[in-house]
A and B are shown apart, each in its own frame.
Chain A
Amino acid sequence: MKQILLVLLAITIVSCKTEKKEEEVNIPKESKAIAVELMKKRNEDTFEAFPVYNFSELEPLLNKVDNKTYVVNFWATWCAPCVKELPYFEQLNAEYKTKDVEVILVSLDFPKQYKKKLVPFIEKHNLASKVVALNDTDSNSWIPKVNEDWSGAIPATIIYNKDKRRFYEQSFNYKELQKEVNAFLN
């Protein structure tokens, strides 16, 4: 097992180098663990339906400053209440497009499930909202950055625009969602 890992590691490092010559591939002392993570990440980065981000890559999407109102929903295909409310977010994205509202669905599916679960789910439900996958295991460091009050339970949603922001650790129906979003549009 160890040998296979080492070989894989070597291949990854080499292939990273050849593919991304101009990009610094950062492999410090604890190289093995990080390189393995990197390797996983590079392989998973190739989905067409969604990009895979770590938290620092996701963060700009939570802090855009323009004329839109953003509805960012944290969900996963295995989270039943998330899946239940997803159609409302889709409906909102469609019906409020003209009102400068954009829905972003941040999936917390496990990386090993991307291919098996997330990709088929997006296809099956024909999701029109922007989907991104967040793969950042050190949740203790980033959960408070999403919101100080978030315990980490999903579903969770942020609604924000350049003037204000609200966080919800709860499920929504369409009416409730509309009501909250409307409060941002006035």
Chain B
Amino acid sequence: MKKIVQLLCVAVVILGISAFTSGTKDGKVGYKVGDIAADFKLENIDGNMVSLADFKEAKGFIVTFTCNTCPYAVAYEDRTEALNKKYAKLGYPVIAIMPNNTDVKPGDNMASMKARAKEKGFTFPYLMDKGQKVYPQYGATKTPHIYILEKTKKGNVVKYIGAIDDNYSDASLVKEKYVENAVDALLKGEDIKVKETRAIGCSIKV
């Protein structure tokens, strides 16, 4: 009996430690590929509140944390719009979320977001992460930072995290379109080959 109690104690301790380390080992929090992403309710540039649940027909989402003021995000504006044009009708709309503190970056406030969306003709929702609650849940650290979600019975499963493609500076020199490849694979019911990529971006302003 004593042995069993001892063993149980050890097990509990190990579990406790591993639970602790898996979350904080390298300071990384947020979603990993395979996690279920929480829904949100954020204000769009048209004044309406938007949730993932509103998209009844969607098969999934291309969620991008982006903003007006980061040159890397700006470099990807046209490509983000092109993704929405191509994939919204196939069931994977782009949902853009602006995560920065607008006191630090006034150029990212709602008025500026509206102006930029109009100027660029964005056809996707461009949402304000008011109170900065959503980006830490996802674990986004920079703009742009993309999460592809697949709608399942269990919820919206994270299928890809990273960059749009492998060349921020010149769309014509891109060799690998990470996001397109991932969504194409999802649409065909195939495995995504590259599930995680990294790119330089602007740290999210807190």
Contacts and interface: CB of A to CB of B under 8 A. Distances in A.
A150 B198 contact: yes
Contact of A37 (B26, B141, B173): B173
9 contacts: A36-B173, A110-B75, A137-B167, A137-B170, A138-B167, A139-B198, A154-B202, A155-B203, A169-B141
B142 A151 contact: yes
Could you say which of B75, B105, B167, B200 has the most chain A C-beta atoms within 10 Å of its C-beta?
Answer: B200
B71 A140 contact: no
Interface string A148-179: 01111111000000000000010100000000
Contact of B199 (A80, A111, A152, A155): A152
Contacts of A138: 166-167, 175
Interface in B143-166: 145, 162-163, 166
A149 to B, nearest CB: 5
Given A110-B169, A137-B167, A153 B201 contact: yes
Main secondary structure of the interface of B (DSSP, over half): loop
Contact of A111 (B145, B169, B200, B205): B169
A79 B198 contact: no
Nearest to B163: A140
Nearest to A135: B169
Contacts of A151: 141-142, 145, 198, 201
A78 interface: yes
Contacts of B162: 140
Interface in A36-95: 36-37, 76, 78-81
B28 interface: yes
A140 B197 contact: yes
Contact of B198 (A37, A137, A152, A171): A152
A39 to B, nearest CB: 12
A1 B205 CA distance: 39
Interface of B: 26-28, 70-71, 75, 104-105, 141-142, 145, 162-163, 166-170, 172-173, 175, 178, 197-205
A10 interface: no
A78 B74 CA distance: 12
A154 B71 CA distance: 12
A153 B169 contact: no
A149 B166 contact: no
Q: 10 nearest interchain CB pairs?
A: A153-B142, A153-B203, A151-B141, A143-B198, A140-B197, A137-B167, A153-B141, A152-B198, A139-B199, A149-B26
A174 B119 CA distance: 41
Contacts of B163: 139-140, 152
A144 interface: yes
Contact of A154 (B173, B175, B203): B203
Nearest to A134: B200
A171 B167 CA distance: 26
Nearest to B70: A78
